[in-house]
Amino acid sequence: MRPANEALIVIDVQNDFCPGGALAVPGGDEIVPRVNALLDEFQTRVLTQDWHPADHSSFAANHPGMAPYQVIEMPYGAQILWPVHCVQDTPGAEFHPDLDVAKADHIVRKGFRPEIDSYSAFFENDHETPTGLDDYLSARGIDHVTLVGLATDFCVLYSALDAVRLGYAVTVLEGACRGIDLNGSLEDARTTMLDARIVLEP
């Protein structure tokens, strides 16, 4: 069992990010058995869940003439336009059916504000609007987080960087993550995390 000051953060292991989903991460479902085993090792376990309204501003379908993966400027900066995914109360937004959700102590839903996307488990993409996760962890004396989940180069990356910014020691288990790798984003993410002194383990 890991020490009480360490928490496991499982990022977005949802149907739409797994093979067959609307924004499938290659091999996304392959991590589920390892994630389930990790849930037994930690005393504090948090799952995050992308939870978008259908009119979310990050969906290409809500911008006439735009296509998925094009980039637009939003008030908070550049925003990749995504295929419609993880819409609230749809099967795609549900956790992967094999994920042992019952072992979670807390679930963070993010991306539910129509006007702003949310990659990180800690903040919306304006880097200011909190999800409440930091308060939850701080109240439990957590100062070290281990991240797993989907996708390495987006939601895991942003969560890891925000955790460092908030003062946590951060480990990312790369073997329990999978990446989208959009135009080299996976290698860029690894470099960024290493530069931030995030510990990358297999």
Is 86 among the residues known to form the active site?
no
Q: How many CB atoms are located within 10 Å of the residue 91 CB? A: 11
Is 155 among the residues known to form the active site?
yes
Is 103 among the residues known to form the active site?
no
Label residues 117-152 b or e (16+ Cβ within 10 Å = b): bbbbbbbbbeeeeebebbebbeeeebebbbbbbbbb
- DSSP letters, the chain, are ---TTEEEEEE--BGGGSTTSTTPPTTGGGGHHHHHHHHTT-SEEEEEEE-B-TT-TTBGGGSTT--TT-EEEETTEEEE-B-S--BTTSGGGSBPTTS-GGG-SEEEEE--STT----SSSB-TTS-SB-SHHHHHHHTT--EEEEEEE-IIIIIHHHHHHHHHTT-EEEEEEEEEE---STTHHHHHHHHHHHTTPEEE-
Count of residues in the chain = 202
Tell me which of 18, 86, 155, 177 is the catalytic residue: 155
Tell me which of 16, 18, 110, 117 is the catalytic residue: 110
Residues noted as catalytic: 12, 110, 155
